[in-house]
Structure 1
Amino acid sequence: MLANFVDWVGDRNPQLMREWKGRWQPRTVAIALALAVLAQGLFMLAWWSQLPDTQTVAVGERYHTYCLTSAPSAYKACLLDGNNRLMVDWERWYLDVFRSLNWLLPLGGWVPSVLFLAADMQREESRGTATFLRLSPQPAAAVLTGKLWGVPSLCGLMFASAVPLHLWVAHQVSADPQFVVGYYLLLAAGTVLLFPLTLLLAAIAGNQQQRSDIFSGLTLVLAGGLGLGFSLTFLLSNLAIAWEGPDAHYFTQATNFPVYWFGHRLNGTRFISYAFTLANLLWLAGWAWTGLKRRFADPQAPVFRKSQAYLLLGYWYTLGLGFVWEEHGLWGAEALQIWHILILMANLAAIAVLSPHRQTLLDWARHRHHRRQYPWQDLFLAENSPAPPAIALAQAGLVGLTAIALLCANHVTTPERLRVLMATLLLGLWSVLLAILGQRCLLLKTNKRVLWAGGTLASLVILPPLSLAIAGIVPDRIPFLWLFTAFPGAALFGTSQPNLGQWLGVATLASLGSGLVYQKHRRYLQHLGRSEWQQLQTTAHQPNLDRV
């Protein structure tokens, strides 16, 4: 039976079988299982040490977290049984153990897995064997599937060894079977998203490693940060949506907190909350898989086409807007600021994905005169065209989406609508400026142009608000200066807010500044394109003296 299964896997996906054969050796499997059992044993011993001990608790000081009392209070003395021993509150102890397992299983399963995936991809790129994988007769999907489920297979084995303990503790606390099934279903959906995202990040960093050795050690750091950040974001977001209500006490003692999306409650029923979460995870997983296959086939190609990037940005803008919008208006300034931060993060990711490098831009600028028939299509949809026009078009859609949402919201005054709209417009203009400067840095003649671009954008985003905060200029006191940072929504905090004239003035100044910077950048690109074209023309018209 096992031999038939092995033959079936080898016929369907040879790459997966190679990964399994290289890792599933008796020695490595024994070590993985031993480490898993040791970790589980230490975990249970740590919790066992939290139980009350009759030898250490004096008669007059019988107070303990996990003992039965005469009343539900932590300040009541513990009860004693017939043998004069403390009566343990096993239900509470098992519940806390179950809570810890629910938090630790994603962290312990995902973080090592992404590190293994990133290290394997980095090793393939450094050895040059990734090129052989691309040239193999297997489809790209088969090769990548073999990597995704073969490289972290030992981590999956260690995770599977902890499942019986988790199920046993769930049985001890009489956990709802629907919650247990939904918990593992969400973990599976998160894995389907995280693993392709990790390989995509490793592929991008591996391509940059060929240009600069600095990225050799940065890949694992980024992968570890991605695994840890994704795990915490996954747990906290699901704690507010999918696991809110009757399932919240399986993670924390938080009370029921309703979450709405465009006025409809998401965590009212288990079906709606799980359906919403699974739909978003699988949607993003599909896009991560699309970008991974595209990047694997051509390491020099952008991760997404510009048309795909527009769709992804529109999805992200709409998803965030749904959480801050309600029928009677918008949530507070804090929620809007969080939405703007998410928008800024998405815009920075779009800048990194859509911005071509120097040689690609030179090729585009050199041959652009051949595409005079469809200049706008070439500017906004071509893969090798500069990123700022695409970012500007996306921000125009963001402003339009915000305007529609503000018009549909009742009980919102016109000045409030204009302030929110101006804050979103300033955020969009700031994103366009960042795109122009980032694209300009990628035109540098150094191999470290990516580091220059990343450092420049990070400085422009972080240093202005950090300087204002150090100087004690908080948005509540002098909100006008915060309009010149990447967080203009911070000016919406507090009672004193900039007037409409100040909003319009800063928006006009930002529009003119972005336009002038882009015009200078466009003329520089045209100059480079003409120079390259003239060099080619001169080379083409030179006589071949070797034949004379």
Structure 2
Amino acid sequence: MMLNFMDKIGDWNPQLLREIKGRLKVFPVAIACITSLVGQLILFLYQLREIPGEKYQMSGNYCRIGETYKQQINEIYPQINKLQQQLSILGKSKNYDASAIQSLTQQIDQLKTQERNINNILYNQHCPLNQIDMQEWWRDHWEYIFLSLTVIFVFTLLVAGTYLLINNLAQEENRGTLNFLRLSPQSETTILTGKMLGVPILIYLAVAVAIPFHLLSGRAANIAFSHILSFYVILAASCFFFYSAALLFGFLSRFFSGFQPWLGCGTVLIFLFVTMQFASSGPHLDHAAAWLRLFSPFDMTAYLFPNLFRRYNWQLLEQIQFFYLPVGKSLIGLLVLNLVNYGLWSYWVWHGLKRRFRNPNSTMLSKGQSYLLVTYLQLLLWGFTLQSTKNYYPFYPSGTSATAYSDLNYQVTQNFAYIVFFNLLLLFGLIAILSPHRQSVQDWARYRHQNISRRQGFWQNYLLQDLIWGEKSPALVTLAINLVIVTIPLVIWILVALSLKTNNNNSLDWLVNEVGRFKAILGVVLFVCMMMIYATITQIMLMMKNSKRSVWGIGTVAAAMFLPPTFLGMLSLHPETYSTLWLLSSFPWAGLEYATTTTVFVALLGELSVLVLLNLQLKRQIKIAGESATKALLATS
């Protein structure tokens, strides 16, 4: 029967069968099962050591009679404070009554004596065994075990699984067997899925052995089964995403050699620790970076099991919105939000996986896919920005209560840094990913010369179509289109901001009084020009015959970005005085407030001139490369 089952697995996924045969051997399986069982036993016994007994203090949480004494203490404190206030008032009066003061003093002494006696009972006497609430203790005991296993599952599956997958790819690469997999008739999806299911199979086994104990402890702790099942769904989705990203990282980081598994799992470990701290401090997801927090399962886990971090303000997580849609109002809504976030980002990762698996030198994304990715990121950033969060006026006269309000403009200004940061990260990533190297451009230039007769109208122009969609053509037009996609929402907001309801007048001071809408739009154009200059410089560097052209490209762009503002800062050339110089640097926004509209126009013309000159140089290089390649081809024929 087992052989038939294995045959079925082999028919469905030969790669999975290969991984299973290599890992499911007697000794490793026994070690995984024994480790899991011993860990469960240690966890159970560790908590069992605190079971209440004959020496359990009266002040313990599970002593019923102790609660009565605690209530008495809570009643005595206000009485003492009240009598001390009366005594203070009598002592300050000129015609005080000595007998009244003596009476108050005696009452205070009596209450303090009573307080000491109760404290002595609470902290020096043991609780009677029949007064210990063992049922409540066992419930909390099982909850502790359940929550501990929950956190262990997350770290074990995500960190250990990531390490095993990246390490397996590195070993396959070193042995040369990865090239055999590339040549096999199996699809990329079958091979990579087989690795995701098979490589960490011993981790799966260890967790599977612990799942019955996890379910048992959860039910004993009166945790809803729907919440437990939701946690398993979220954990499975997070594993799929992190394992997919681990495989992609393994294909992209071959130059790290043996260090890449530690780098990959270390990054995941740090991410989980940081997001766990965020989740324990408060589930604030009313900002544009909320989608990044959703990669971690801890926010959702803490929502499902509020005692995980002993916080009870998870209604904040329920207030999360997406384009004002209240997606956090129900468990189903939050579950769908997390699954959609995992699913769509996994979709993009798998695009890169499929392309890099068959051809390690190909780009992770095609030009057409980059347009969709940039659009998707804008939907995420602006969707989580536009939430009806409650804000408060920053300044109020003494004695006046602050009134809550919701202000779209305030939300955008508060999230502006997130929007800029993630878009810059994506745009620079696309420059690195989509810019072709010398050989690809040379092949494209020769191919273009052969197809020059196919040109028709503007939109049917073969050269334009190739620059927009072609794999080997320079990516400048592609980057320009992506820049338009990035800036359209921002420009629309700048144009309509003043017509929107504004509760917080300070939120638009910079747009109305300091910069102005027209100069703000010019600033966006300056940003577009600067990014196009960086893209053109990168492409020119990649046209070099030097084998280190990628390093030259990164170094040149980094120098163009950081050296000008660094020198301006070192020379104390502040934006208030030398706004023109700052407009021509990589941080034009610093000088935009202090420059006149004419100055901004001049700076824009200067950047456009630099961009035109760089593109003329690039065009000349491509022409020479194409002509030389064509001549070499004709000479050989």
Counterpart AA for 1:392: A
> Are 2:468 and 2:477, in contact at CA under 8 Å, matched by a contact in 1?
yes
Structure 1 residue aligned with 2:5: 5
Report 1:54-453 matches (<5 A).
70=67, 80-83=126-129, 90=137, 91-92=139-140, 94-206=142-254, 209=255, 215-228=256-269, 231=272, 237-238=293-294, 242=300, 248-255=306-313, 256-257=315-316, 258-326=319-387, 328-330=407-409, 331=411, 333-372=413-452, 373=455, 374-405=462-493, 410-412=500-502, 415=512, 418=517, 428=528, 431-451=531-551, 453=553
Instruction: Please give the alpha-carbon distance, in whole angstroms, between the structure 1 residues aligned to 2:597 and 2:38.
Output: 60
* 1-structure distance, mates of 2:531, 2:60: 55
Hey, what's the Cα distance between the residues in 2 that align with 1:522 and 1:50? 77
> Compared with structure 1, are the counterparts of its residues 153 and 245 closer, same or farther at alpha carbon in structure 2 (3 Å cutoff)?
closer
Separation in 1, partners of 2:585, 2:215: 50
Contact 2:231 2:304 in 1 (8 A): no
Mapped to 1, the partners of 2:273 and 2:559 lie a distance apart of 26
- Indicate if the aligned counterparts of 2:529 and 2:611 stay in contact, CA closer than 8 A: no
Q: Would the aligned equivalents of 1:441 and 1:449 in 2 still touch at CA under 8 Å? A: yes
Mapped partners of 2:25, 2:308: distance in 1: 37
Structure 1 residues 399-418: Cα deviation after superposition (integer angstroms, max 9, x where no partner): 11233355666225663994
Name the counterpart of 1:19. 19
In the TM superposition, residue 321 of structure 1 has moved relative to its aligned partner by 0.7
Deviates more, 1:526-535 or 1:87-96: 87-96
Secondary structure of the residue that 1:4 maps to in structure 2? helix
Q: Which runs of 5+ in 2 are unaligned?
A: 78-118, 280-292, 389-406, 456-461, 503-507
Unaligned runs of 5+ in 1: 210-214, 492-496
Deviation, structure 1 residue 424: 6.0
Q: 1:7 to 1:417 in 2, by over 3 A?
A: farther
Q: Which entry has the higher C-alpha Rg, 1 or 2?
A: 2
Deviations 1:303-330 (A, max 9, x none): 2211111001100111111111247414
Alpha-carbon spacing, 1:109–1:461, altered in 2? closer, same or farther (3 Å) = farther
Tell me if the contact between 1:113 and 1:155 (Cα under 8 Å) persists in the aligned partners. yes
Deviates more, 1:1-10 or 1:524-533: 524-533
Q: CA shift at 1:18, angstroms? A: 0.8
Contact 1:240-1:259 at 8 Å conserved across structures: no
Alignment partners' CA distance in 2, 1:52 and 1:503: 77
The match for 1:494 is none
Q: Quick one: distance in 2 between partners of 1:443 and 1:304? A: 21
Task: Give 1:16 deviation, angstroms.
Answer: 1.1
Q: CA deviation at 1:52?
A: 7.9
Q: Distance in 1 between matches of 2:200 and 2:444?
A: 40
Contact 2:166/2:246 (8 A) holds in 1? yes
Percent identity, please. Answer: 27
Change (3 A) 1:29 1:510: farther
Give the deviation of 1:442 after TM superposition: 3.7
Asked whether the equivalents of residues 110 and 191 of structure 1 are also in contact (C-alpha less than 8 Å), the reply is yes
What residue number does 2:83 align with? none
Q: Which moves more between the two structures, 242-251 or 365-374?
A: 242-251
RMSD in angstroms over aligned alpha carbons?
A: 4.6
Which deviations, in whole Å up to 9, do the C-alpha atoms of 1:179-214 show, x marking residues without a partner? Answer: 2111111122222222222212211223xx3xxxxx
In the alignment, the residues of structure 1 paired with residue 624 and residue 52 of structure 2 have an alpha-carbon distance, to the nearest angstrom, of 81
Return the alpha-carbon distance in structure 2 between the equivalents of residues 51 and 421 of structure 1: 68
Alpha-carbon distance between aligned partners in 2 of 1:356 and 1:273, rounded to the nearest angstrom: 41
Cα distance, 1:282–1:473 mapped onto 2, change above 3 Å: farther
Partners of 2:335 and 2:566 in 1: CA distance: 39
Bigger Cα displacement from structure 2, 147-156 vs 522-531 = 522-531
The aligned residue for residue 402 of structure 2 is none
Q: Deviations over 1:110-132 (max 9, x none)?
A: 11111111111122222222221
**Residues 194-252 of structure 1: CA deviation (Å, up to 9, x unaligned):** 2222212211223xx3xxxxx31453244224533665688753479756767544455
Secondary structure of 2:365's aligned partner:
coil
Alpha-carbon distance in 2 for matches of 1:474, 1:241:
43
Determine the C-alpha separation between the residues in 2 that align with 1:243 and 1:471: 52
Alpha-carbon distance in 1 for matches of 2:583, 2:45: 54
SS at match of 1:261: coil
Instruction: Describe the SS at the equivalent of 1:114.
Output: helix
Quickly say closer, same or farther: Cα 1:300–1:245, change in 2 above 3 A: closer
Any conservation in 1 of the 2:367–2:471 contact (CA below 8 Å)? yes
* Alpha carbons of structure 1 residues 245 and 455: separation in structure 2 relative to 1, 3 Å: same
420-429 or 11-20: bigger deviation: 420-429
CA gap 1:105/1:335 in 2 versus in 1, 3 angstroms: farther
1:495-516 deviations in Å (ceiling 9; x for gaps): xx96384799669747843762
The 2-side partners of 1:516 and 1:428 are apart by 13
TM-fit CA distance, 1:19: 0.8
Tell me if the contact between 1:245 and 1:268 (Cα under 8 Å) persists in the aligned partners. Answer: no
Q: Equivalents in 2 of 1:218, 1:514: separation in Å?
A: 44
Query: TM-score when scaled to structure 2?
Result: 0.69
Structure 1 residue 63 displacement after superposition:
6.6
Work out the CA distance in 1 between the residues paired with 2:169 and 2:229.
33
The question of whether the paired residues in 2 share the 8 Å contact of 1:97 and 1:169 is answered with yes
Show the counterpart of 1:523.
Answer: 617
Which has the larger displacement, 374-383 or 156-165? 156-165
Give the residue type in structure 1 aligned to 2:464: W
* Secondary structure, counterpart of 2:471 in structure 1: coil
> Equivalent residue of 1:356, what SS?
coil
**Aligned partners of 2:378 and 2:4: how far apart in 1?**
49
Verify the 8 A CA contact 2:538 2:553 in the aligned structure 1. yes
C-alpha separation in 2, matches of 1:401 and 1:502? 25
Amino acid paired to 1:7: D
- How many aligned residue pairs are there? 525
Give the whole-Å Cα distance in 2 for the aligned partners of 1:461 and 1:52: 65
Q: 1:13 to 1:461 in 2, by over 3 A?
A: farther
